[in-house]
């Protein structure tokens, strides 16, 4: 089983994932498979106003239109010679319908995830129209997996390994299954952040399992953290909202770095993705307030700006959350801390395996006491005013929480 999109890097020392993988594979990958539960993942500082229940997530939306054969590729927007496989997530999503089925919360967390079966069977399913619940239930539609951003790199792909941008994928070896369980976030109609009178989403921090958390505390300077997210099919964006990201800093000052905090900003950092109107993606950052940080962040295309009294918008429009409506989208974050006294820190974001934002020359800390602490697992609509509120009851799901120590 391949971790190319959850861990889009070549080398790391060790890590963990809630994606269930065979023991022999986890050993080869230096990945410890763990369960999706609070204790194992080191969840702490949970908002008392919201919940993050474990559920069986809905199936990705059905494909009402068959994927056309290779000889029809020009009309379908696929590459000649690609065996009819759409070459981008946009091509895939364009064929999708709107059926999403909500599932009740589950109690048990065990079980083995099924793969795709034989390559020939997978290819057959790719070229066939999925028209019944029985066929769709088999969680093996290769187009769904491509939309989720997974493919095995043992295939003869023409992917550019340097930038992680898969232009053509041999789906005959796609093998990563759909999540069997996920954290569900609920955003009631009219809700904004988790601390508002009508709270929405959820908010907590996680440091990972014990070995990983210890490595962070011991001073790991480069880390990658990732997860998969799916928004309900009829998701409405409004003005925007936050999704989970990375945080760190000096002891207790690591926490509460967001929400417009200005005091002791040199002692904390927080980097979360954000969706905006029409699904435009960006990073929303709180970094030490240095002139160089502002200059480096503001230079990120296609649009970046410093927001008065709040965080920094970085790279708005560099990617889209549209593929997450009714499908699994993989987000992976890499942070490299600066050497004390230097401005050589880095932030990198991958969306479905493609590097979409990279910023270097940054300063995250001025003290060796500052650490990467883990993930700020927070999501909500907003903003802090009613014009950001969710226009209806909405849900999102989060799965396959993964982390690895690079240095």
Domain count, the chain: 1
Question: pLDDT tens for residues 302-313?
Answer: 999 998 777 899
Residue 332 lies in a domain: yes
Can you give the pTM of this predicted structure?
A: 0.75
Q: What is the CATH number of the domain that holds 211?
A: 2.60.120.200
Q: Is the pLDDT of residue 92 over 90?
A: no
- CB contact burial 103-136 (16+ within 10 A = b; e otherwise): eeeeeeeeeeeeebeebeebbebbbeebeeeeeb
Residue 78 lies in a domain: no
Q: Which residue has the tokens 């009219």?
A: 190
- Average pLDDT, stretch 284-293? 93
Residue 288 lies in a domain: yes
Q: Is the pLDDT of residue 36 over 70?
A: yes
Backbone angles phi, psi at 280, to 5 degrees: -65, 135
- Average pLDDT, stretch 30-54? 94
- Average pLDDT, stretch 11-34? 87
Question: pLDDT tens for residues 204-231?
Answer: 999 999 999 999 999 999 999 999 999 9
Q: Is the pLDDT of residue 175 over 90?
A: no
Question: Which tokens hold the place of 171?
Answer: 């789906």
What is 292-336 written as a DSSP string?
HHHHHHHT-SS--EEPTTS-EEEEEEEEESGGGBTS-EEEEEEEE
The percent of residues above 90 in pLDDT, for the chain, comes to 59
Question: pLDDT tens for residues 312-338?
Answer: 999 999 999 999 999 999 999 999 999
Question: pLDDT tens for residues 144-173?
Answer: 333 333 333 323 233 333 333 333 222 223
Euclidean distance between CA atoms 1 and 4, whole angstroms = 9
Distance of CA 174 to the CA centre of its chain: 19
Residue 96 lies in a domain: no
| CA count, 13 A, side-chain hemisphere, 355 | 14
The pLDDT, as a whole number, for residue 195 is: 81
Q: Which residues contact 188 (CB under 8 A, 6 or more apart)?
A: 198, 200, 390, 393
- Average pLDDT, stretch 77-84? 30
Closest CA relative to residue 67, chosen from 116, 111, 122, 104 = 122
Residue 352 · residue 333 · CB < 8 Å: no
Residue 313 · residue 280 · CB < 8 Å: no
The pLDDT, as a whole number, for residue 384 is: 84
The pLDDT, as a whole number, for residue 182 is: 98
- Average pLDDT, stretch 355-364? 98
Residue 328 lies in a domain: yes
The pLDDT, as a whole number, for residue 237 is: 98
Could you tell me the sign of the dihedral formed by the alpha carbons of 19, 24, 25, 29, in that order? positive
3-state SS assignment for residue 369 = coil
Closest CA relative to residue 363, chosen from 275, 301, 293, 316 = 293
| Helical H segments across 186-275, by residue range | 210-217
Closest CA relative to residue 375, chosen from 403, 398, 397 = 403
Domain that holds residue 41: 14-48+192-405
Residue 287 lies in a domain: yes
């Amino acid at each position: 089983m391949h971790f190319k999109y959850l861990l889009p890097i070549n080398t790391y020392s060790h890590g963990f994932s809630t994606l269930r993988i065979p023991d022999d594979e986890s050993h080869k990958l230096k990945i410890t498979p763990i369960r999706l539960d609070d204790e194992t993942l080191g969840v702490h500082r949970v908002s008392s106003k919201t919940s993050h229940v474990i559920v069986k997530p809905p199936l990705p939306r059905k494909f009402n239109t068959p994927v056309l054969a290779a000889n029809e590729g020009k009309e379908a927007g696929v590459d000649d010679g690609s065996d009819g496989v759409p070459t981008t997530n946009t091509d895939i999503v364009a064929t999708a319908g709107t059926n999403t089925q909500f599932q009740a919360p589950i109690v048990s967390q065990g079980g083995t995830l099924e793969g795709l079966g034989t390559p020939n069977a997978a290819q057959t399913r790719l070229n066939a129209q999925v028209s019944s619940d029985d066929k769709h239930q088999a969680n093996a539609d290769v187009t769904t997996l491509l939309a989720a951003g997974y493919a095995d790199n043992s295939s003869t792909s023409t992917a550019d390994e340097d930038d992680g941008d898969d232009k053509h994928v041999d789906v005959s070896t796609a093998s990563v299954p759909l999540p069997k369980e996920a954290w569900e976030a609920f955003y009631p109609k009219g809700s904004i952040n988790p601390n508002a009178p009508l709270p929405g989403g959820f908010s907590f921090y996680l440091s990972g399992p014990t070995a990983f958390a210890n490595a962070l505390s011991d001073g790991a300077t480069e880390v990658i953290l990732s997860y998969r997210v799916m928004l309900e099919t009829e998701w409405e964006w409004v003005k925007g909202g936050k999704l989970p990201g990375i945080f760190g800093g000096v002891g207790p000052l690591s926490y509460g770095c967001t929400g417009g905090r200005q005091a002791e900003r040199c002692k904390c950092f927080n980097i979360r993705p954000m969706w905006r109107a029409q699904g435009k993606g960006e990073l929303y950052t709180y970094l030490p307030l240095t002139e160089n940080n502002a200059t480096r962040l503001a230079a990120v295309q296609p649009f970046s700006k410093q927001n008065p009294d709040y965080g920094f918008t970085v790279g708005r429009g560099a990617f889209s959350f549209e593929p997450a409506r009714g499908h699994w989208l993989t987000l992976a974050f890499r942070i490299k801390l600066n050497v004390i006294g230097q401005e050589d820190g880095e932030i990198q974001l991958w969306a479905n395996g493609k590097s979409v934002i990279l910023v270097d020359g940054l300063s995250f800390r001025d003290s060796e006491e500052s650490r990467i602490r883990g993930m700020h697992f927070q999501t909500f609509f907003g903003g802090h005013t009613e014009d950001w509120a969710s226009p209806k009851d909405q849900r999102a799901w989060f799965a396959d929480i993964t982390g690895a120590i690079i240095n």
